Chain A
Amino acid sequence: MEPLMAVIIPTLPELIKFEWVAQAAFYFIIGVTLAGAVSAVFLRRIIHNILGLIVALFGVAGLFIYLNSEFLALMQILIYVGAICISIVFAIMLSDPMYKEDPRRRLTKVFASVLVSLLILAGFLSMITKTPFEAAAQRSDDWTVTTVGNLLLTRYALVFELISFVLVVAIIGAIVIAGQGRKQRSLK
C-alpha cells in the first residue's frame, strides 16, 4: 500500500487536471448541500430532518474549504454538526414523544413559503449581480488557522475575551432558567 501511495500522490496533479477536479468537487459539494437542505425541509420524520441538516452543514463546510478558509470549515463541523445538531436531537428527545401523528402539511402553506423563498433568492441574486464587488487592493491569501489565531491574539483580543464572557453568561443563564422549574419540583 505504502509504495503505491507514494507513487500516486505526487503524480496526482499530473494525472488529473487540476481545474477539472476543482469543478467536480464544487458541484459535488453543492449537490450534497442541496440534497441535505431538501431532505431537511421536506422529509416528514423530524429525526430525518436533522440528519438532512447535518448533511447540508457538512456541505457548507466543504464550501468553506473550497474557499480556502479552513477555520470556518472546522467551526462549521465542530459547532454546527457536533454541537448544535446534537442539542437539537436532545431537544427532540425532551419534547413530546415522537410516535404522535405528524401534523398534516398544508399545500397553501408550502406554496407560500416556496414563493417567499424564491422572492428572497431573486432579490439577493439581483443585488449581488448589480453590485460591483471590487477586489481589495492589498489582499492576503494567507488564511490558515494560525493566522486566525494570531489575529485573535492581537487585533481581536477584546473580542476573544468577550466571547468567553458571552458564553459564561449563556451557561449561567441556561442553568438559571432550566433550574427554575427543577428546584421547585424537587421541593415538593
Chain B
Amino acid sequence: MLNQVILFLPELFFLFMALVLFGLTVASGEPKPRRDYHTALVLSAIGAVITLGSIGAEGHLFFKAYRLDLFSQLFKCFLGFGLFLVICISSKLDGIAERHHPEFYLFLTTSTLGMMLLVSAVELITLFVALELSSYSLYILVPMRKGSDHDSEAGIKFFFIGAMASATMLFGMSYIYGVCHTTYLAEIMTTLPQLIHTPGAVVGMVLTLCGLFFKLAVFPFHNWAPDVYEGGANQVVAFVATVSKMAGMAILIRLVALTGGDSTYLMNVLIILAIVGMTLGNLVAIKQKDFKRLLAYSSIAHAGYVLLGILSMSEIGYASVIYYALAYLILNVACFMVLVTMSEKGQNVKIDDFSGLYKRAPLLAVTLLLGVFGLAGLPPTGGFTGKFLIFIAAIEKGYLWLVIFAMVNVTISLYYYIGVVKAAYLNPPAEGSEPIRISIPLRLLNYALIIVILWLGLYPSTLFDQAKIAAEAVLAVL
C-alpha cells in the first residue's frame, strides 16, 4: 500500500497543490496576486523536483490501467518543469483579472495533473478521461483573459473544435474496441498489428489520433491555434504552446506504437498530414505580424516535423520525438518569456515591437535569438539536434524524399524566423522606448534557459540514451 502511494506521489502532490490553490480561490478578502504567485511558484518548484525524483519508478497501479515506466516518468518530469517554467513567467500576470489569479494557477495545475495521468494511462477509458481533464482546464483558461475582444471568440473556437476532436477520438476508440475487444493497451498491442489491415482498425486508429492531432494542432485540426494564441492571455498561450503540446506528443507515441508499424494506410495518412501541415504552417507564418500568431503557425509546422519522427515507427524515431519534445518546450518557453517581459500590460506583441531589443535588453535579445533559431533548427541549439535526430530516424526508414521536403520547409521557415531576429538586432529602437528592466530572478531564468538550449544542442547523448530506453519501454508495454 505504502509502496503504491510512493509510486503515485507526483500525482498526489499535484493534487495537493490543486487543493491548496483551491483554498486560495475561496479565501476571503481582497485579491492578493503576490501571495498567489509565490504559493504557486513554490509548490510547482517542489512538484518539479518530485517528478525529477520519480524518474526510474516502475510499476502498475489501479488494476493495471496505470503504468509507470521510464517513458511516463520522463514525460512527467518534463511536464512538471514545464508547469514550473510557465508559472515562473507569470509574475506579471496582467492579462487576467487579479481576482481570478488563483483560478488561473488552479487550472494550470489541474491541466498538468490531467496530462500526467495521461502519459501514464495504458487503458483507453482512463486515457480519454485524463485527456478531458487536461483539455477542460484549457478551455476555461483561454477565455479568462480580461478586457479583450478576441477572448470569447478564441475560447469558443477552442472549445468547439476541441469537443469535436474528443468526440471523434471516442468514436475511433469504439472501433478499436470493436476489433480488439479490450481497452487495455497491452492487449491491444498484441492483437492490433494482425488486424491493422482491416478497414475498421485503420479508421478507428485514425479517428483516435484525431483527438491528439487537435492537441498538437496537426493540419486538419489546426485552425484553433492562431486565434487561441492571439486571443488567450500570454501565459495561458505559453502553457498551451509548451506543456500541452508535449503531452500530445507523448500520447501520440503511445498510440501509434500500438499498431506495430506496418500499416501502409496509416502511414500514408500521417505522411499527407505531415506534408500539408509543414507547408501550410510555414507559408502562412511568413505573412504574420503578431508574434503569437507567428508562433501558432510555426507550431502547426512543428507538428508536421513531429509526425515525421512518429511515422518512422521505430525506436529511434520515438526517441527523437521525445528529445524534440523537450527541446520544443524549452525553446518555446524562451520565446514566450521574452514575449511576456516585452508585453507591459499583458497585451499582444507585434514583431515590430522587437525593434532594437538588443539595445533595450541585450540579455532578452540573446534568449530570443537562441529561441527563435532553435525553432528554426539552426545549430548549436537544441532545436537543431532535435530535428537532426528526427530526420535521421526518417532516413533510416527510407523516407529520404520526405526528409528533403522537410528540409525545404525548414529553409522556408528561416525566412520568418530571421525576420524576428532582424527586428531585434538590426532595426533601431522605436522613438521613446526605454530599456527594459529585468529583475534578478528573471535574469537567472534567462541564463538557465540559454544554458539548457545550448546543452540540448551540443551534448545530446545523455538525454537521447534515456529517450531510447523510454521508447523501448513504450514498445514493451506488456
Contacts and interface: CB of A to CB of B under 8 A. Distances in A.
A16 interface: no
B69 interface: no
A128 interface: yes
A115 interface: no
Contact of B137 (A157, A169, A183): A169
Interface in B38-87: 61-63, 65-66
A177 B143 contact: yes
A136 B181 contact: yes
B259 interface: no
A173 B107 contact: yes
A130 B203 CA distance: 12
A158 B179 contact: no
Contacts of B62: 157-158
B6 interface: no
A23 to B, nearest CB: 24
B63 A177 contact: no
B139 A162 contact: no
A154 B110 contact: no
A165 to B, nearest CB: 6
Contact of B133 (A126, A162, A172, A183): A162
B430 interface: no
Contact of B100 (A127, A156, A157, A176): A176
A106 to B, nearest CB: 22
B436 interface: no
Contact of A162 (B107, B130, B178): B130
Interface string A140-162: 00000000000000111111001
A170 interface: yes
Contact of B203 (A127, A170, A177): A127
A103 interface: no
Nearest to A174: B140
A6 interface: no
Contact of B126 (A132, A158, A170, A183): A158
A8 to B, nearest CB: 40
Nearest to B63: A155
A94 interface: no
A184 to B, nearest CB: 9
Contacts of B400: none
A136 B179 CA distance: 9
Nearest to B103: A176
Interface string A97-139: 0000000000000000000000000001011101111001000
Contacts of B155: 177
A166 interface: yes
B200 A172 contact: no
Contact of B200 (A127, A155, A158): A127
Contacts of B100: 176, 180
B198 A169 contact: no
B12 interface: no
Interface string B176-200: 0011010000000000000000111
Contacts of A128: 200
Interface string B126-152: 100110110011011001101000000
Contacts of A158: 61-62, 65-66, 117, 126
Given A155-B63, A177-B143, A180-B97, A170 B136 contact: yes
A173 B129 contact: no
A165 B133 CA distance: 8
A155 B132 CA distance: 19
B200 A166 contact: no
A93 interface: no
Given A133-B178, A169-B137, A155 B129 contact: no
Contacts of A180: 97, 100, 144, 146
Contacts of B198: 130-132
A176 B141 CA distance: 10
A163 interface: yes
A131 B199 contact: yes
A169 B63 contact: no
A155 B103 contact: no
Contact of A156 (B65, B106, B179): B65
B173 interface: no
Contacts of A131: 179, 198-201
Nearest to A135: B181
B125 interface: yes
Given A162-B126, A180-B97, A173 B139 contact: yes
A156 B199 contact: no
17 contacts: A127-B199, A127-B203, A130-B198, A130-B199, A156-B126, A158-B61, A158-B62, A158-B126, A159-B65, A162-B117, A162-B129, A169-B107, A169-B137, A172-B25, A172-B140, A177-B143, A180-B97
Interface of B: 25, 61-63, 65-66, 97, 99-100, 103, 106-107, 110, 117, 125-126, 129-130, 132-133, 136-137, 139-140, 143-144, 146, 155, 178-179, 181, 198-201, 203
Interface of A: 124, 126-128, 130-133, 136, 154-159, 162-163, 165-166, 169-170, 172-173, 176-177, 180, 183
